[in-house]
Structure 1
């Protein structure tokens, strides 16, 4: 059984990626979530509506013990399952000016994005190397590429993942494993729901927010055979706001 795991797969961009992977590939979809079980079950139903198989896995990517326990138990129950595609999508924001930023707001964002990437990717890395195939897509952000005021923590976390993407890609390329990052700009989702869209689109050349579906289409391209010579790249999808 060949599988694709999407962390933070229950809502927004993560959900769109799960559904699109179900449409375009034959992978068994592993939908990770941390807190919102109802949203995860809705995503599961949407994937199954595509005629594909899927399951939900509950763990906090920032908690290595939990990651190892849940994924280890899943692997034991499914000894023939091979995770070929990993989309590191889980992320949180704790926005605020740096001068007033509490340690917890810094640590939680770094833990989820940076340590979350390490915890989940390291679980599968040796397996992918032995299998001589893999597709890793790390969801970053325009904030990690250009920096966004009010998001020093988030910008730092996503910039760290960009560096990790480029380095890891070089380590594993010989084994037909690609590692790329996708950097969305303003995409309609829960994370951007409270932003003033009318004001912000004045700065976006495309004159609109992006759709989660558009990001999902890009991720699906990167995990396909068509993208096998693309690795170590950061692909911006932001309507021209920062190109």
Structure 2
């Protein structure tokens, strides 16, 4: 991961401008033009695949999660320096996290904010929590992470997103529009609310040159998807398989690219036709 500005130490690793002035100027220009993404929930699954895809495309990755940076799992460069550890279920911790992100940006534009982090608690015996069984504390934790954190991050980083004519992508879910055999009520309703929020944000942020979209993944092969669940659900999906994190990451990348420059307020289903 690159630094926000070029210092004297950085110059030493660039080609000698006196010997190759055009190449040196090009390297400096590329450094200045490198795009930056803020990504929550990057440690596994969809988030990890998204971080890797953007990193491979040359983007600088600033990550936020409640876990410390794991250099063994995260392949993007300077990851430890660009990681902000924050408990997203505590809204009082968000102002400090936003300040740390701004410090890392150091006045540079932000080109994308991906609100991927989410929690889906289960009962002690592993069953889904229904509207009859979900404790109040669980409702609060789920909505703080899945809905309030995206609101506060977008508000707090508005100036940087304006500078970058940025894109915001909220990760919703197929369970926001239908009852799911495993996902709990609090998780499902928080994702439905996030889909509604995406439309509202698209309207509110458009005058600032910022696009806001959502993706709604269905069954995706991540660490939390058991073989039993995959075997049960794959036959009812028209494509007869679950999706991969890479397939989701590619849609996120499209929504943050110039190819989607006139796309805002959309929620893109990524579920192999499971919703039809």
Does the alignment reach a TM-score above 0.5? yes
2:157 and 2:116 map into 1 onto residues whose CA distance is 16
The answer to whether the 8 A contact 1:61-1:119 is kept is: no
CA deviations over 1:101-148 (Å, ceiling 9, x no partner) = 22222222111101111221111124323x261110000000013342
Q: Tell me the residue number matched to 1:115.
A: 148
The answer to whether the 8 A contact 1:6-1:31 is kept is: yes
TM-score (norm 1): 0.88
Please say if 1:179 is aligned against 2:225: no
Please say if 1:190 is aligned against 2:190: no
Aligned alpha-carbon RMSD (Å): 2.2
1:104 and 1:65 map into 2 onto residues whose CA distance is 16
**Aligned in 2, Cα 1:109/1:202: closer, same or farther, shift over 3 Å?**
same
Stretches of 4+ moved more than 3 A in 1? 51-54
1:114 and 1:141 map into 2 onto residues whose CA distance is 13
Q: Tell me the secondary structure at the aligned position of residue 115 of structure 1.
A: helix
Q: Tell me the residue number matched to 1:42.
A: 72
Instruction: Determine which structure has the larger strand proportion and give its number.
Output: 1
**Aligned pairs, how many?**
236
Q: Tell me the residue number matched to 1:88.
A: 115
1:106 and 1:223 map into 2 onto residues whose CA distance is 31
* Cα displacement (A) at 1:90: 0.5
Which 10-residue stretch deviates more, 64-73 or 13-22? 64-73
**Aligned in 2, Cα 1:122/1:175: closer, same or farther, shift over 3 Å?**
closer
Q: Greater Rg, structure 1 or structure 2?
A: 2
CA deviations over 1:138-182 (Å, ceiling 9, x no partner) = 000000133425521111100111111001101222332110000
Instruction: Determine which structure has the larger helix proportion and give its number.
Output: 1
TM-score (norm 2): 0.78
**Aligned in 2, Cα 1:100/1:207: closer, same or farther, shift over 3 Å?**
same
1:177 and 1:232 map into 2 onto residues whose CA distance is 11
Q: Tell me the residue number matched to 1:67.
A: 94
The answer to whether the 8 A contact 2:89-2:142 is kept is: no
1:154 and 1:194 map into 2 onto residues whose CA distance is 22
